[in-house]
Amino acid sequence: MTTEGWFPPKGDVHVRIWLAGMAFDYTATAAAVRYLIHDWRKKHWFTIEFIRDTIDDYGLLPRLPCEQLFLGP
């Protein structure tokens, strides 16, 4: 999986995390999602999906829980 080309360099993105058959939609900063992907590559215990062009206002979605933890290596 690569994020080059379509993944925004900054700002918020819509990320969907699938866990035990349930989908959880969140808004997160692009930087936090990059670190989330970095951790995910080490052990795939959930599925990540990036949603493009689905809603105009990301403020309608909850923020990624513990998003601050993914803002650093």
pLDDT value, residue 23? 92
Q: What tokens were used for 35?
A: 């670190």
- Rounded CA-CA distance 21/39 in Å is 20
* Domain definitions of the chain by residue range: 12-71
Per-residue pLDDT reduced to its tens digit, 54-71: 556 666 889 998 888 878
- Would you put residue 27 in left (φ > 0), alpha (ψ -120 to 50) or beta? beta
Which residues are bridge partners to 16 per DSSP? 25, 49
Cut 0.85: pTM above it: no
